[in-house]
Amino acid sequence: MFIARNLTIGEQELTGTETGMTVEWWPLQDAVAAAMDGRLLLSGAAVSVLMAANTIPTPGHA
């Protein structure tokens, strides 16, 4: 899980153990919903999403 800002889409370059991985971009609110309803199967991913949601200010909730 990485929190990144101001990214641009470019060519993906996978190496070694990354072979076969996919990258998905989700709006944070969609990732939180997936964590809360059990669609994220790895507990570390779910915790990371919820921690990110708690850290990143959302519009109107400074």
* Per-residue H/E/C for 2-42: CCCCCCCCCCCCCCHHHCCCCCCCCCHHHHHHHHHCCCCCC
Q: Which amino acid is residue 56, in one-letter code?
A: I
- 3-state helix vs strand vs coil in the chain, percent to 5: 40, 5, 55
Domain chopping of the chain, boundaries: 25-55
Q: How far is residue 59's CA from residue 62's CA, in Å, rounded to a whole number?
A: 7
For residue range 17-48, what is the model confidence (pLDDT) as tens digits? Answer: 988 888 888 888 999 999 999 999 999 999 99
**Is residue 1 scored above 80 in pLDDT?**
no
The reported pTM is 0.68
